């Protein structure tokens, strides 16, 4: 039992160091600590574990990779500030605790400049990905103009966007990183009914733009490719 607890503690410390490494390689401003108070029933199978460790596991199940409206996407349970209670209410076999804790939330602010990879491109615009978050959209009106869209085939909605500048065409493709500016962050309401042909529901949507100098694929702007390559190498090292 002591060996198992020691392994769990070591594993938790390694996970915390890994999260801190990732956060140190990304712009700090897009992440926030949010203090939450939550009433948590602790399932019977968890009662044999140390109370703080068991509650931390249950909090991760509840919040990790989940979106909280107006707070953002939870990427980690940072710490637990206090645990109170432990009462067993009539008709309930699990003790209930009141827990105060901090979550690390991803919530970019309007006007922030970020770097992402192209996930897809269609007639409506671009979809970008940060690796851990994919619901970033650059609509047609926020692309640089004049522009041109070339479909992959006659009946396809997928294709490549081109920026037309001084008789040259500059593609927006997945060959390099893309810098964009945050235009808006929204938290759509969960639809009562959703058509089968519609896109999967996204509880958090980020709208971006690349219609300003210095934005778009880094290959468009000399001197930015090296910075993007360094960022990509840091992200790759963190994933390994």
Position with higher pLDDT, 217 vs 30: 217
Is the pLDDT at 237 greater than 90? The verdict is no
pTM of the model: 0.75
- pLDDT digit string (tens) for 17-57? 545 444 444 445 689 999 999 999 998 888 889 999 999 99
User: Residues 102, 186, 125, CA angle at the centre, nearest 5°?
Assistant: 130
User: Residues 29, 62, 25, CA angle at the centre, nearest 5°?
Assistant: 25
User: Residues 162, 233, 207, CA angle at the centre, nearest 5°?
Assistant: 45
Q: Which strands make up the sheet holding 168-172, listed edge to edge?
A: 147-151, 159-165, 168-172
Average pLDDT of the segment spanning 135-163: 92
- pLDDT digit string (tens) for 134-144? 999 999 999 99
Is the pLDDT at 15 greater than 70? The verdict is no
Mutual angle of helices 2-24 and 51-63, in 10-degree steps = 40
Percent of the chain with pLDDT over 70: 79
pLDDT at 22: 45
pLDDT at 92: 79
* Alpha-carbon span 240 to 236, nearest angstrom: 6
Q: What is the DSSP secondary structure assignment for residue 158, as one 8-state letter?
A: B
Position with higher pLDDT, 187 vs 239: 187
Is the pLDDT at 9 greater than 60? The verdict is no
Is the pLDDT at 195 greater than 80? The verdict is no
* Alpha-carbon span 129 to 27, nearest angstrom: 15
pLDDT at 41: 92
> Going by C-beta distance under 8 Å and a sequence separation of 6 or more, which residues neighbour residue 43?
58, 94
């Amino acid at each position: 039992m002591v060996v198992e607890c020691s392994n769990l503690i070591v594993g938790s410390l390694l996970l915390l160091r890994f999260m801190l490494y990732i956060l140190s390689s990304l712009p700090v401003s897009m992440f926030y600590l949010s203090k939450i108070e939550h009433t948590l029933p602790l399932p019977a199978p968890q009662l044999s574990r140390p109370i703080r460790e068991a509650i931390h596991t249950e909090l991760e199940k509840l919040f990790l990779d989940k979106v909280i409206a107006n707070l953002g996407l939870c990427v980690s349970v940072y710490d637990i500030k206090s645990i109170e209670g432990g009462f067993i209410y009539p008709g309930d076999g699990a003790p209930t605790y009141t827990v105060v804790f901090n979550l690390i939330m991803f919530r970019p602010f309007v006007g922030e400049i970020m770097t992402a990879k192209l996930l897809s491109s269609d007639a409506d615009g671009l979809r970008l990905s940060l690796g851990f978050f994919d619901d970033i959209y650059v609509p047609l009106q926020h692309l640089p103009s004049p522009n041109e869209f070339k479909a992959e085939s006659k009946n396809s909605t997928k294709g490549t966007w081109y920026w037309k500048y001084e008789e040259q065409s500059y593609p927006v493709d997945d060959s390099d990183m893309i810098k964009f500016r945050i235009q808006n962050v929204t938290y759509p309401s969960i639809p009562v009914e959703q058509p089968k042909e519609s896109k999967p529901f996204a509880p958090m949507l980020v709208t971006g733009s690349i219609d300003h100098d210095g934005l778009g694929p880094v290959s468009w702007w000399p001197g930015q490719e090296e910075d993007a390559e360094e960022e990509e190498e840091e992200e790759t090292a963190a994933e390994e």
